[in-house]
Amino acid sequence: MCSPQESGMTALSARMLTRSRSLGPGAGPRGCREEPGPLRRREAAAEARKSHSPVKRPRKAQRLRVAYEGSDSEKGEGAEPLKVPVWEPQDWQQQLVNIRAMRNKKDAPVDHLGTEHCYDSSAPPKSKVKYIKQTSAILQQHYGGDIPASVAELVALPGVGPKMAHLAMAVAWGTVSGIAVDTHVHRIANRLRWTKKATKSPEETRAALEEWLPRELWHEINGLLVGFGQQTCLPVHPRCHACLNQALCPAAQGL
């Protein structure tokens, strides 16, 4: 038999247990919720983070732009192509200014002598005379006494090379088809290092000059350098002491 006190304690415990179950898990003996344990706190925090974390979206692939590409707004009919930097000689602009200054009198042989001297009675007969006679006959028969209007037809004539063909196109037809390069232009261009590498023929020099020299200078450069080569930059014993480019000319530094 239990004593009245033990019976009362048992009944009280039973009521407390019943009340705790009715309040649900975590209810204390006074009807308050129990403090969650460390494990439940971690689980609750994880759930909270999960519910509030932003939804991960697949990253959009970014297109890498390079320097030579234009944007959509830049593309179109009016858009200018990106200029690619080209090689050019050092100090060439100042060298050109100095050559113009030395040639301002226009008193070199090239400025006064022309083809009319080819038939000079005092001149010894040369192959050029033969070529002139042959070419004259071809022009009379096939071109009505005129001259061809293309470089290809001009160089097909006897004794006419690329230099004379480009000169004829400029003088006769007013068309700048290329740079006329003779021995003077070839020599001076190499002495001034106006070619990216040393050239061995006038045609190779022409191609090298046309790669970088502005087209508006093509017509001028032949007469300018030919006269300069006749007066100052001579093939043998050039007059470097009288040249304004003495300090700028690579060839003069080695003399």
Q: Is the pLDDT of residue 64 over 70?
A: no
- pLDDT winner (highest mean) among 24-28, 57-61, 225-229: 225-229
Positive or negative: CA dihedral 233, 237, 242, 248 = positive
User: Alpha-carbon torsion 239, 240, 244, 245, what sign?
Assistant: positive
Banded pLDDT at 38 (limits 50, 70, 90): low
Please say if the pLDDT value at position 218 is more than 70. yes
What does the angle CA 200 – CA 204 – CA 205 come to, to the nearest 5 degrees?
A: 90
Among the listed residues 163, 196, 197, 200, the single catalytic one is: 163
Sign of the torsion angle spanned by Cα atoms 98, 103, 104, 105: positive
pLDDT of res. 57? 59
Asked about 196 being catalytic, the answer comes back as no
* Chain Cα centroid distance, residue 172: 35
What is the mean predicted confidence (pLDDT) over 207-232? 97
- H-assigned helices in the chain: 4-23, 38-52, 92-102, 127-142, 151-155, 162-173, 183-191, 202-210, 218-231, 250-253
Q: 105-128 pLDDT, tens per residue? A: 999 999 987 654 444 455 456 677
Whole-number pLDDT of residue 254: 75
Q: Is the confidence at residue 97, as pLDDT, over 80? A: yes
Tell me which amino acid residue 228 is: F
Whole-number pLDDT of residue 232: 98
What's the confidence (pLDDT) of residue 104?
A: 97
DSSP 62: P
Q: Give tens-digit pLDDT for 190-201.
A: 999 999 999 999
Q: At what angle do helices 218-231 and 162-173 cross, to 10 degrees?
A: 120
Does residue 20 contact residue 29 with C-beta atoms inside 8 Å?
Answer: yes
Q: Is residue 253 pLDDT above 50, yes or no?
A: yes
Residue 127 is predicted with a pLDDT of 76
Least confident of 80-84, 185-189, 234-238: 80-84
| For residue 67, pLDDT beyond 50 | no
Does the global pTM surpass 0.85? no
**158 or 15, which is more confident:** 158
